Amino acid sequence: MASSDASVPELRQKFGPRASDAPERRGAVARDASHVQGDPRAVVAPRSTEEVAWLVRWARKSKVPLVARGAGTSLDGESAPLRGSVVVDLSGWTEVLEVDPVDRIARVQPGVINFELHRHLSPSGLFFPANPGSWTTCTIGGNVATNASGPRSFRYGPTRNWIRAAEVVLGTGEVVRVGTRAPKRSIGPDLLQLLVGSEGTLGILTEITVALAPRPSRRAALAVAVPAATTLGPVVAHLAPLVSHGLAAIEYLDDRCADALRHEPGAQLPGGGALLLLEVESHDVNDETGRLERLSRILKASGLTEDPVLFPDADRLWTLRGASGTALDRALGERVREDIGVPISRVDELLAEINRIATAHHVVSAVYGHLGEGSLHPNFVVAPGTEEGEAVRGELLAAAVRLGGTISAEHGIGSVKSRWIADQVGAEGVRWLREVKRTCDPDGILNPGKIVD
């Protein structure tokens, strides 16, 4: 929107050069990692909670929507600024405010990069377990907004499990603190958990208190070749009990994804087909050797007989695994990228449905994801946003619900999947979500067009 808009001079008067409607500045935040094209009116970089609260009050008065943005790595349009929104740029909020090794918590600003927090915590012997594939670029605020996950969620669960407290500016302009530093609470419905996964539609996060876990002494990872036609459900059933013996991740790459990743610099991945990626935590060298030997016996008994490739530093493999999306960008180009989940017992049925949909629409498919949780990321080589692309997406989401699963396991709903939210939660669920939205954001100024309107 042009700078002649009366609202932009008002923002410049308050924020000076930190408010901009320059075409290049707006263009830099018009999209996230999805195909959704936004139309930002301006970009503002507040420096304090008080300034965020001022922005929300201004937005209510001006009837101009706001969209909070960190790194813009969201995959379903969560941070794409629709309807002439002003983007609230929190990418500069990168301070780790406190690390308490006794209470095992850290207070952080929402723009802290996930991997940078991981590095910052290293001297403390603690770590933040949630590690999305984009962990080298995604922010903690974005992780909370979408309830992001990652490879280690097999053992540690999603981001939701690791959020203790938050400071948030609601759509009313009120500054509210929810949660506590304590590890447990029972005070009625959990207001903090309403915010986790709400995609900035209820409030703008300005501070987050995360719980931390003891950092394992050793973390090794394995890349294991998967023979063609392997039935994956029984493999997971055999591996899953090892969570009590340090198994922290069970990831899957089908043959197309694995082949694309093999072209990454220094990949050193085995075989020529599909892969399992596993992480094992241990206390010392002898403990690690014993756990890896036990894991190797179970893999061979499950028909995965080729010797795996060992990554002594698990983070090296997860950073490589995080490049799956960009590797497929180069190998396959534009495509529908999805995120669904089903019960473990129905993983093989889901994979069969993915193949059926791809065949019916005459498109190429590729799949990777968090096999240990039944959370997969199917990709279909068809233009997203087109009639055929949305037909493919709709069939996939319907299959996930039919198999007792979810239309989003970790990426969120955004604007891309909002039309299917009723298929997951029902009409009454949608009504409930809208009531929560109206309570927290009575004027509908926060991230419009996402989840439900």
pLDDT 10s digits, 35-78: 999 999 999 999 999 999 999 999 999 999 999 999 999 999 99
* pLDDT score of 8: 86
pLDDT in tens, 304-321: 999 999 999 999 999 999
At residue 107's C-alpha, the angle toward residues 101 and 109, to 5°, is 150
CATH no. of 7-89: 3.30.43.10
Q: What is the mean pLDDT of residues 322-327?
A: 90
- Model confidence at 2: pLDDT above 60: no
The answer to whether 35 touches 28, Cβ cutoff 8 Å, is no
pLDDT in tens, 91-137: 999 999 999 999 999 999 999 999 999 999 999 999 999 999 899 99
- Model confidence at 417: pLDDT above 90: yes
Burial class (CB in 10 A: 0-12, 13-18, 19+), 339: buried
Average pLDDT in the chain: 95
Q: What is the mean pLDDT of residues 5-30?
A: 92
* pLDDT score of 367: 97
Q: What is the mean pLDDT of residues 329-345?
A: 96
Sign of torsion, CA 410 411 414 418?
negative
pLDDT in tens, 264-314: 988 989 988 999 999 999 999 999 999 999 999 999 999 999 999 999 999
Alpha-carbon distance values, 426 to 106, 125, 265, 423, 431 (Å): 37, 44, 46, 6, 9
- Model confidence at 4: pLDDT above 50: no
| H-run or E-run covering 169 | strand 163-170
* pLDDT score of 276: 97
- Model confidence at 7: pLDDT above 80: no
CATH no. of 334-425: 3.30.70.2740
Rg (CA), the chain: 22
* pLDDT score of 114: 97
Alpha-carbon distance values, 312 to 217, 223, 282, 316, 363 (Å): 12, 11, 12, 9, 38
Give the CATH architecture of domain 96-214. 2-Layer Sandwich (3.30)
| Percent of residues, the chain, with pLDDT higher than 90 | 95
Secondary structure (3-state) at 14: helix
Of residues 245, 249, 240, the one with CA closest to residue 283:
245
DSSP 199-247: TTSSEEEEEEEEE-EEPPSEEEEEEEEE-TT--HHHHHHHHGGGGGGTE
Which CATH code, of 3.10.20.30, 3.30.1490.20, 3.30.70.260, 3.30.70.2190, is assigned to 218-324? 3.30.70.2190
- Model confidence at 201: pLDDT above 90: yes
Query: Is the whole-model pTM more than 0.85?
Result: yes
* pLDDT score of 5: 67
pLDDT in tens, 377-390: 999 999 999 999 99
- Give the confidence band of 1 by pLDDT, cuts at 50, 70, 90: very low
Q: What is the mean pLDDT of residues 21-38?
A: 96
- Give the confidence band of 448 by pLDDT, cuts at 50, 70, 90: very high
- The C-alpha atoms of residue 402 and residue 352 are separated, in whole angstroms, by 13
What is the domain partition of the chain in residue ranges?
7-89, 96-214, 218-324, 334-425
218-324 against 334-425: fold identical:
yes
Of residues 185, 208, 196, 210, the one with CA closest to residue 130:
210
- Model confidence at 218: pLDDT above 50: yes
